[in-house]
Amino acid sequence: MYTFGKHERLCSKKLIDALFLSGHKFILFPYSVHWMVCPRELLPPGTPAQVLIATSKKKFHHAVDRNRVKRLTRECYRLHKPTLYQYLECHDTTIVLALNYIHNEILSYQTLNHKFDRLTSMLIEAVNKQLNPPPSQQP
RNA sequence: ACGGUAACCGUCUCUAUCGCUGGCAGUGCGUGCAAACGUGCUGCGAGAGGAAAGUCCGGGCAACUCGAGCCACCAUACUUCCUAACGGGAAGGCGGCAGGAAGGAAAGCGUCCUGCCGACAGCAAGUGCCACAGAAAGACAAACCGCCUACGGGCAAGGGUGCAAGCGCGAGGUAAGAGCUCACGACAGGUGGCAGUGAUGCCGCCCGAUGGCAAACCUUAUGGGUUGAAAGACCAAAUAUACCGGCAGUUAAGGGCUGGCUCGCCCGUUGCCGAGGGGUAGGUCGAUAGAGGCCGGCGGCGACGUCGGCAGUAGAUUGAUGAUAGAGGCUGUCGCAUUGCGACAGGACAGAACCCGGCUUACGUGGUUGCCGUUUUC
RNA sequence: GGCUCCUUAGCUCAACUGAAUAGAGCAUCUGACUACGGAUCAGAAGGUUGCAGGUUUGAAUCCUGCAGGAGUCA
Confidence of residue A138 (pLDDT cuts 50, 70, 90): very low
The answer to whether strand B lies under 7 Å from the CB of residue A5 is: yes
Mean pLDDT for the stretch of residues A50-75: 84
Which residue spans within chain A are E strands per DSSP?
A: 24-28, 31-37, 49-55, 95-101
Task: Judge whether residue A111 contacts strand B, using its CB and a 7 Å cut-off.
Answer: no
CB A30 within 8 A of CB A18: no
Domains and CATH numbers, chain A: 6-129 (3.30.230.10)
Q: What is the ipTM of this complex?
A: 0.76
Per-residue flag: A6 CB under 7 A of strand B: yes
Judged by C1' against the alpha carbon of A68, the nearest nucleotide is: B322
CB neighbour burial string for A44-83, b if at least 16 within 10 angstroms, e if fewer: eeeebbbbbbbbeeebbeeeeebeebbebbeebbeebbee
Strands A49-55 and A95-101 come out as parallel
Q: pTM (2 decimals)? A: 0.77
> Is the pLDDT higher at A128 or at A134?
A128
